[in-house]
Amino acid sequence: MALNHLRLLQPLLCRSLIQRIRSPVAVSAVVNVRPSVLPGTVQLPAAVCRFYGTKKDKAKGSSAKVKINSALVEDIINLEEVKEEMASVVYLLKDDFTRSLNIRTSPGALDHIIVATCDGKFPLNELGQVSMKSSHLLIVNMSNFPEAVTAATRALRECSMNLNPEVDGTIIKVPIPKVSREHRENLAKTAKQLSNKAKESLRSVRSNAVSQVKKAKEGHSEDILRLIEKQIQQMTDDITAEIDKQLAVKTKELLG
């Protein structure tokens, strides 16, 4: 008989349980539950965020993005300074491309050439006045530093521009060779070398930044340190992609 009564009460008990689960009070109680922070542990700052990729991103194998508020971790590392150092690598690469790999004749085409003298190393345009005689001839007037004529001529001959300078007193005549296909291909190879050098500089910046983060193990959460390292790697990946982009643009310009 007791079993029969229990069977009669079963539907009532089920309805009561369902109402309890659906109750706004119960839901509110569940939502408002926050994990307590145990003594000795570090809670992640609110501004350290993870940005999860879309299904399309996950299909490509990309990992979740991390964005950290630099101000909250400046006691560990100055991420803005790291960002500026990495950006300067791209700036210097663009400058090298402009100065060393320009197939258009102009007085500024010789600005990158460094002359080694007895008094030190100096840019050619600080020792002599460079002017354009014609579209295929540049003139370097060395009258202000006649003692550096030999050194300047050697620097012009040894540079990567395939030049054959001619000396006439304190005047250096620099015929600009016609840009052949072979010369364009050599310039493209130089562009590749310069981009690889830029990547080496970038890796050096990244390595120094990661080392600085690892030195801050004491007193900081390992989770935060890992997130910072991931942020640094993301910054490195972005600059690497920019270097590859600049190389592709320059290569297309050189090869036509």
- Show which of 132, 147, 175 is a domain's final residue: 175
81 and 120 in a single domain? The answer is no
Length of the chain: 256
Domain boundary residue among 125, 155, 175? 175
Task: Tell me the pLDDT tens digit for each residue of 90-101.
Answer: 999 998 888 778
Residue 128 belongs to a domain: yes
- For residue 208, being part of any structural domain is answered with yes
Domain limits for position 190: 70-102+180-255
Place 44 in a pLDDT band, splitting at 50, 70 and 90: very low
Same domain, 147 and 237: no
Residues 94 and 202 in one domain: yes
CA nearest neighbour of 205 among 93, 91, 85:
85
Task: Say whether both 82 and 191 belong to one domain.
Answer: yes
Residues 140 and 244 in one domain: no
Binned at pLDDT 50, 70 and 90, residue 217 comes out as confident
Total of domains in the chain: 2
Which of 128, 157, 175 is the last residue before a domain boundary?
A: 175
Task: Convert the pLDDT of each residue in 149-162 to its tens digit.
Answer: 999 999 999 887 77
Nearest-angstrom CA–CA distance, 132 and 55: 58
- Which pLDDT score, from 0 to 100, does residue 133 have? 86
Whether residue 215 sits in one domain with residue 246 = yes
Mean pLDDT computed over 35-60: 45
86 CB-side CA count, 13 A: 25
Please determine, for residue 128, whether its predicted confidence score (pLDDT) is greater than 90.
yes
Task: Give the span between the Cα atoms of 214 and 220, in whole angstroms.
Answer: 10
**Burial degree of 61 (CB within 10 A; 0-12, 13-18, 19+):** exposed
111 in the same domain as 95:
no
- Residue by residue, DSSP assigns 83-122 as HHHHHHHHHHHHHHHHHHS--S--GGGGTT-EEEETTEEE
Same domain assignment for residues 118 and 231: no
Q: Is residue 18 part of a domain?
A: no
In DSSP notation, 168-210 reads ETTEEEEE-----HHHHHHHHHHHHHHHHHHHHHHHHHHHHHH
Judged against a pLDDT cut of 60, whether residue 211 lies above it is answered with: yes
Whole-angstrom distance, CA of residue 151 vs CA of residue 169 = 14
**Element containing residue 154 per DSSP (H, E):** helix 149-158
Domain at 169, CATH number? 3.30.1360.40
User: Does residue 28 lie within any of the structural domains?
Assistant: no
Does residue 164 share a domain with residue 211?
no
Calpha distance 235→19 (Å, rounded): 51
Q: Is residue 55 part of a domain?
A: no
- Is residue 236 located within the same domain as residue 142? no
CATH number at residue 242: 1.10.132.20
* CA distance linking residue 161 with residue 118, whole number of Å: 24
- Whether residue 6 is contained in a domain is answered as no
Residue 43 lies in a domain: no
**Are residue 244 and residue 126 in the same domain, yes or no?**
no
Buried b vs exposed e over 24-54: b needs ≥16 C-beta within 10 Å? Answer: eeeeeeeeeeeeeeeeeeeeeeeebeeeeee
185 lies in the same domain as 97? yes
User: Which tops the pLDDT comparison, 79 or 101?
Assistant: 79
Q: Average model confidence (pLDDT) for the chain? A: 78
* Residue 58 placed within a domain: no
What is the reported pTM?
0.58
